[in-house]
Amino acid sequence: MPTTPCHILVEGNPAIIYASRNGKPEKVLPILERFLDKFWQERDISGEMADTPECLVAQIIVRFGFEICEDDYSNLRVGVNYYRPEAEYLYWVGSDRQVKVWVPEPAYRTTPQLGLAGCREMAIEAL
C-alpha cells in the first residue's frame, strides 16, 4: 500500500504537521477544504482573529487528523524541526485563506530543512 506522506503548514505558526500516509491531494484537499470552510465560518462568527494560526494548527491536528488518520494516530506527528525528505506533498494554508500544494524538488530531498524553498508549487486546477 503506497503511503504518500505529507506536511501541512500554517502561515504564522512554526508547527510542521506530518502525516505518514493518505497525503495525496485527491484525499487531502476535499477534507482540508471542507474543514477550512467551517473553520473560517466559525472565526468570522466569533470575530476572534488574534490567535488564528495557533487555533488553526490545533484544530487541524484534532479535527482534520481524525479524518486522515483513519483511527491510527501513530501516523500523525507535529514539531518545529520536522521536515521529512520522504514527504510527497506540502500543503500551505495561508492567512489569505488559500491552500497551496507544493511538491518537493531534489534539493528538498537532500535538505528538507529548505521547506517550501526546496519545492515547486503545484497548480491545484491540475488535479
Quickly count: other Cβ atoms within 10 Å of residue 19's Cβ.
25
Sequence-ordered list of residues with C-beta below 8 angstroms from that of 38, at least 6 positions apart, any chain: none
Note the pLDDT tens digit of each residue in 35-79. Answer: 999 999 999 988 877 889 999 999 999 887 777 776 677 788 999
What average pLDDT does the chain have? 89
pTM over 0.85? The answer is yes
Cα 10 to Cα 3: distance, rounded to the nearest angstrom: 23
Domain limits of the chain? 6-126
CA dihedral angle for residue 88, residue 67, residue 70, residue 1, rounded to 10 degrees? -30
Is the pLDDT at 80 greater than 60, yes or no? yes
